[in-house]
Amino acid sequence: MNWAAFLSNYIFAFIVLNVMLGLMAYMTYFERKVLAAMQDRVGPKRTGPFGLLQPIADGIKLLAKEDIVPKNADRLVFLVAPLLSFVLAPLSAAVIPFGGTVTVFGQEVNLYVADINVAVLYVLALGGMGVYGIILGGYASANRYSLLGALRSAAQVISYEIVLGLSLVGVFILSGTLSLVQILEAQQQPLSFGGVQVPNWYILSQPLGFVLFLIAAVAETNRAPFDLPEAESELIGGFHTEYSGFRFSFFFLAEYINMIAVSLLAATLFLGGTDGPIADGVWWLAAKAALFLFFYIWLRTTLPRFRYDQLMGLAWKVLLPLALINIALTGLIRLWGLGLL
């Protein structure tokens, strides 16, 4: 084992963890500002200049709130479930390439935590694991609303996980790898059509796959218009009804970190990640991810919530057949492109 490389990777992992937490805090600020602007309000502006200290004030407030454990709750599971959600969420950022390799103090540093050959599978597995935090928390609360919210969430996430997984098969057919670093490298080679240079971003060759991925990703992170697990008009808070204080905020943190991670993943898989027309770098990735995060908030202000049967029907009857068609078509076109047909 190369200890120097190991240490530099770990330091980068530590930075990524903390940046994700910081970004998450300011994601709530960004969301409140954008929501406010779209609803003709001002949004947070009292705490610090432009209300920039608002996330910190919120954090301190939640830290100082009483932590209530209901008397019928399964105590141990109730206490551990939010931690599980929180711990798993930022780990998917470990395989996102934030750039190539730079030299710091004479040491080669990779701008990704780990380049594993099943990176996309690993991210999907983490998404599936994330359900455990929700369903254990909902079950342990011993509250009807929590249980129902948790079950809904589990059914929704596993249904959309299939669409998410199948929508990416087209990308793997084109790139021939599951490693995000190599998928990024494949997208950095521009295509040439009669002298015209076109970026080889997979959104151009996989438009249907991209749309399916986007819909499934919004459902996977339990965001509007697919936020049925926490539909406040019928289930109060859903799975986190009984949670208070910092344990509640852990679920909240996990949801926002998942949004950021999915946005980074979408930017890397379909929009060429750190690749840009000029000066490739992490800023391109940040700009593309910010676009997706804005899209999340835009959806929330624009669309009403789905009904549960519509939600499940959409996944199984519309998106799943479309994903299968996308795979068959992509394969056919690729065969033709290779001259094997």
- Residue 297 vs 320, nearer CB to another protein: 320
Cβ 297 to another protein shortest distance, Å: 26
Asked if 312 is part of the footprint of another protein (rule: CB under 8 A), the reply reads yes
Q: Is residue 83 involved in binding another protein (CB under 8 A)?
A: yes
State the burial class of residue 159 (Cβ atoms within 10 Å of its Cβ: 0-12, 13-18, 19+).
buried
- Ranges within 15-44 binding another protein (CB under 8 A): 16-17
Q: Does 70 bind another protein (CB under 8 A)?
A: yes
Instruction: Tell me: does residue 141 bind another protein (CB under 8 A).
Output: yes
205 scored as a contact of another protein (CB under 8 A): no
Instruction: Work out whether 320 is an interface residue with another protein (CB under 8 A).
Output: yes
Does 107 participate in binding another protein (rule CB under 8 A)? Answer: no
Beta carbon of residue 241, minimum distance to another protein (angstroms, whole number)? 5
Q: Can residue 321 be called a binding residue for another protein (CB under 8 A)? A: yes
* By the rule CB under 8 A, 246 interacts with another protein: yes
Size of the site for another protein (CB under 8 A): 81
User: Using CB under 8 A, which of the segments 7-15, 22-30, 44-52, 185-193 binds another protein?
Assistant: 7-15
User: Is the separation of the CB atoms in 222 and 157 below 8 Å?
Assistant: yes
- Selected from 202, 210, 239, 250, the binder of another protein by CB under 8 A is 250
Within 145-204, which residues bind another protein (CB under 8 A)?
A: 145, 147-148, 151, 154-155, 158-159, 161-162, 165-166, 169-170, 172-173, 176-178
Nearer to another protein, 55 or 170 (CB): 170
Q: Which of 77, 116, 211, 299 binds another protein (CB under 8 A)?
A: 116
CB of 190 or CB of 245, closer to another protein = 245
Among 52, 68, 282, 291, binds another protein (CB under 8 A): 68
